[in-house]
Amino acid sequence: MKKLYYWLLLGAVALGHPAAAQAPDVTKMSAEERTAYFAKLNAAAYADWQQTLQRLHLTPPPLGPEATDPHRPAGTTRKGTSGPWLDSLGQNYFRSAWGNWTNYREDRAGGLPPTPDLLTLANGQPVRTAADWMRKRRPELLRLYQQNIYGQLPARLPAVRFEVAATEVGALQGKALRRNVVGHIDNSRYPAANPRVAFSIFTPPGATQPVPLLVIVWGSVFPTPTATIEQVLAKGWGVAVFDTGAVQQDSGAGLGQGIIGLVGQGQPRQPTDWGVLAAWSWGLSRALDFLEKDPAIDGRHIGIEGHSRWGKTALLAGALDPRWAIVWASSAGCMGTSLEKRNFAETIDIVAGSGEYHWMAPNFLRYGGHWPDMPVDAHALLALVAPRPLFVTGGTKGDTWVDPHGEFLACVAASPVYELLGRKGVGTSTMPAPDQALVSGDLAFRQHVGGHTDAPDWPTFLAFASRYFTAN
């Protein structure tokens, strides 16, 4: 991971779709105004994180100064008195609120074999058939995630009314028909929150029949991924770019707004209430409601892709909604695709800290400093996508934060479920060399040469997806 990448994302991505999430447009701010705004945002998130811990009766241990902590990794330094510590390779080191320091050494990663056993029911009975998995084991695991990790979707959710807000013929220099779609969420129960479902659809202009489509989980503060869209269009497929920030701001400071604030009427979350990743997943499912009925789109062949925190989102969305025909989780890391009970780079402690806790249910904070107590691990979330095709990727230098080895180990551990369901897993327990893709099965893995990006993996993914999608 590049120097300060983590910190930049904590600030920049937090704003998402400014108008919908009741956040100002930082692109129009001066550098000084942005610095002040981010400081205020992070302070508000930290205060909410502390209040969440208090409501759960959780108290992290008292910690002394980081500079004199005897457990700080040797050879690490930092500029100033705040921010990450760096080693000679430029890798970021953090001390969590529970006193644990970042580790990048495989010989110190530890971690037990992933638990729980996916093919054993909670009552100890074996899972022997596909029906056992779909009717018994899968619901058990899904409940564990909803109650302890990502939160439960509320029983009462508002209606969404869609409209095509704008159409551009000849977009991308004549390569696409672009439609901007807005889903107006009924906020009559709490008008102070005004979230929306917002996405842009790009389809080949000469298509005469419905086309397969890939949804890219995205944020409006970043430029439209034109090069990626053009690659997909060249296959004769469509693309929808989904704006996460329109549904819910990516910050603990925004939990009183967005869809979470609307449903909760601005009140603090209860222990099992949903976090931002689940809220984004709900928004993606509402987009899917529209897309699968669109006459220009083949509703049976709609996939989802996301990178980094949006890779976590794509994976969770695929687990929660079986209508997603194919899932790609790129560099999703901890609480996504890498085994979480390993002590390597991003850990449970980091996600439970004040910068990322809002992604999860409040109950998840109970596992800060208590990783073995967490009732699931990443292999279970991967298995919830089965038997649908799943592509897991990470990078080399610059992407160690997501623990690509831990991602591969999760794929290996999830493979028996794919095999039980009549599909093929990764096919080996030996991690391949970088740029050597394992794509012969329905659960695929690739570690590209390069940093924290999904760009090098798009050609491989499109070839993988072509086994399941064909342009009409």
328-374: pLDDT as tens digits? 999 999 999 999 999 999 999 999 999 999 999 999 999 999 999 99
Q: Is the pLDDT of residue 61 over 80?
A: yes
pLDDT of residue 210: 98
Answer yes or no: is pLDDT of 8 > 50: no
| pLDDT tens digits, 446-458 | 999 999 999 999 9
Those residues whose C-beta lies under 8 Å from the C-beta of residue 31, and which sit 6 or more positions away, are none
Strand, helix or coil at 103?
A: coil
363 and 417 Cβ atoms separated by less than 8 Å: no
Burial of residue 416 (number of CB atoms within 10 Å: 0-12, 13-18, 19+): middle
pLDDT at site 10 = 39
In this predicted structure, what is the pLDDT of residue 272?
Answer: 99
Confidence of residue 467 (pLDDT cuts 50, 70, 90): very high
The Cα 417–Cα 295 span in angstroms is 35
Residue 15 confidence (pLDDT): 36
In tens, the pLDDT along 200-255 reads 999 999 899 999 999 999 998 789 999 999 999 999 999 999 999 999 999 999 99
The pTM of this model reads 0.95
* Structural domain that includes position 66: 1-472
Query: Terminal CA-to-CA distance of the chain, rounded, Å?
Result: 40
* Mean pLDDT rounded to a whole number for the chain: 94
Share of the chain above pLDDT 70, in %: 95
Tens of pLDDT, residues 171-180? 999 999 999 9
323 CB burial (10 A radius; 0-12, 13-18, 19+): middle
Distance CA 147, CA 440 (A): 35
How confident is residue 37, by pLDDT bands cut at 50, 70 and 90?
A: very high
Q: How many folded domains does the chain comprise?
A: 1
Q: Band of the pLDDT at 111, cuts 50, 70, 90?
A: confident
261, 252 in Cβ contact below 8 A? Answer: no
HEC-encoded secondary structure of 396-437: CCCCHHHCHHHHHHHHHHHHHHHHHCCCCCCCCCCCCCCCCC
Residue 112 banded pLDDT, cuts 50, 70, 90: confident
Does the structure show a pLDDT above 70 at 22? Answer: no
pLDDT of residue 24: 74
Q: What is the CATH number of the domain that holds 339?
A: 3.40.50.1820
pLDDT in tens, 188-212: 999 999 999 999 999 999 899 999 9
Please tell me the predicted confidence (pLDDT) of residue 23.
Answer: 66
